[in-house]
Amino acid sequence: MRTSNGYIKAFLCVSGMFVFLFAGFPAKAADKENCLMCHKYRFLGRIDENGKRINYSVDEHIYGKSVHRIVPCRECHINITKLPHDPVTEEVNCANICHVKPPFSDENFSHEKIIEVYDESAHAIKPGDSPELKKAKPYCKFCHLNPLYTRVDEKRIAFEETLRRCLNCHQEKGVTQAYMHMTHRLRHKTSRSPQEIVRLCSKCHQDTALMKKLGVSEKGQEAVETYFRSIHGKSVILGSQTAADCISCHASSKLHDIYKKDDKKATIHKDNILQTCKECHERTNRWLVQIAVHPEPHDEGHPVIHFTSVFFTFALYGTVFGLMGLLLLETRSRKKDGIKFLLRHGTSWRGKSKRRVKK
């Protein structure tokens, strides 16, 4: 009887542990008004007039880990005033002021300032744009996908050690969030990796046909291709975290101020480029900035470079085939003269010569 009691206790302990391990903790999203009462259902959705299937479900666990997790639904979806609500026709405006107060700040948070920067950039919709161009230009949600918090794994931040010091005075939950909020912006110029940035910009910019249609300059049409030919691009493909991506050169620390090359505000304008290069290349000079960051292919570039490229191709094949030919000739002849392949003690000339000298 005593042993079976022990078994039951052990069983309960183990199953308790399993429950503890696998049950997980529900992430707490800012759902004060209980929108998730309906939106938690995974197949909540409809098929619209065009036959497009739209899903309205919100996964609490995913949303609870995203950057907007403390923003209540209606701070962005301001048009919803009653329940059950009417069909939503208007897009969310990211310039809304939400009722979240940043620490040590009096005013409520808004993305308004960065949107002002964006509105002046090359990517903003201008009154004179063609309908095609208007459609193609990216708006907030095109690039920003409400990303999850990503921990910076770089050693230079010493995440754990620094956080442990904060915990000496601060409450764990609050300071961890605030700390993550800052550190995920410390890794690079952007919180995304260079690879993600290049992938994001390439989504539109590598489509040469689309770029041509939208009236992008000839150099701009093949910008992605030429970037990958540069040392920056090659390093980024291979996983470098330090090499320059698109944003490194084409935007300042405001990140959204991307202008055309000829615009005086552009970081790549000839008056500003020295300063831009200096962000990484400390000893920049007026000669360095003339180097092509988007190099053209060798066969389209300068005639001297083209000629050298062709010369090297010929030299390569000439050398390899010439030398290999000599090698094969030599081997055949020496084999015929009686040499054996294996190097051994004694002699390698273990065969009989079958050579005939022609006159």
Partner 1 sequence: MSNSSGVIAASSEKKTVEDDYLTYVEGVGNVPRDIYKHVESDPKGDLPRYSFHIVIQHLLVLLTFLALVATGVPLLFAKLYWAHTVINLLGGADTARIVHRMAAFTMMFACAYHIATIFFGTLRQMISGRFDYKRTMIPRIKDLSDIIHDIRYFLGFAPYRPKMEKFMYKQKLHYYAIIWGNCVLIIAGLALLYPDIMARIFPETLGKLLPQVISKGVSFPAFFQEFARLMHADEAVMALIVVAFWHWSNVHFVPGRFPLQWAFLTGKITREHQIEEHFLEYINNLREIPEEREYMKKLIKEKGLETLPIVSVSELPRIY
Site residues (vs partner 1, CB under 8 A) = 228, 231, 233-235, 237-243, 281, 283-285, 287-288, 290-292, 295-296, 298, 301-305, 308-309, 312, 315-316, 319-320, 323-324, 326-327, 329-335, 338-349, 353, 355-359
User: Is-contact 217 184, C-beta < 8 A?
Assistant: no
Nearer to partner 1, 103 or 303 (CB): 303
Minimum Å gap between C-beta 210 and partner 1 is 22
Nearer to partner 1, 148 or 328 (CB): 328
Nearer to partner 1, 215 or 301 (CB): 301
User: Is-contact 60 29, C-beta < 8 A?
Assistant: yes
Nearer to partner 1, 11 or 349 (CB): 349
User: Is-contact 288 277, C-beta < 8 A?
Assistant: yes
User: Residue for token digits 């992938």?
Assistant: 199
Max CA distance (Å), the chain: 109
For residue 274, give every residue at least 6 positions away whose Cβ sits within 8 Å of its Cβ, in sequence order, or none. 284, 286, 289
Minimum Å gap between C-beta 264 and partner 1 is 21
User: Is-contact 245 197, C-beta < 8 A?
Assistant: yes
β partners of residue 110: 97
Give how far the C-alpha of residue 69 lies from the chain's centroid of Cα atoms, to the nearest Å: 23
Specify the DSSP element, H or E, that contains 203.
helix 194-205
Minimum Å gap between C-beta 237 and partner 1 is 4
Nearer to partner 1, 173 or 358 (CB): 358
Minimum Å gap between C-beta 331 and partner 1 is 5
Minimum Å gap between C-beta 67 and partner 1 is 28
Specify the DSSP element, H or E, that contains 55.
strand 53-55
Nearer to partner 1, 28 or 335 (CB): 335
Minimum Å gap between C-beta 119 and partner 1 is 34
Cβ-based neighbour number of residue 204 at 10 Å: 17
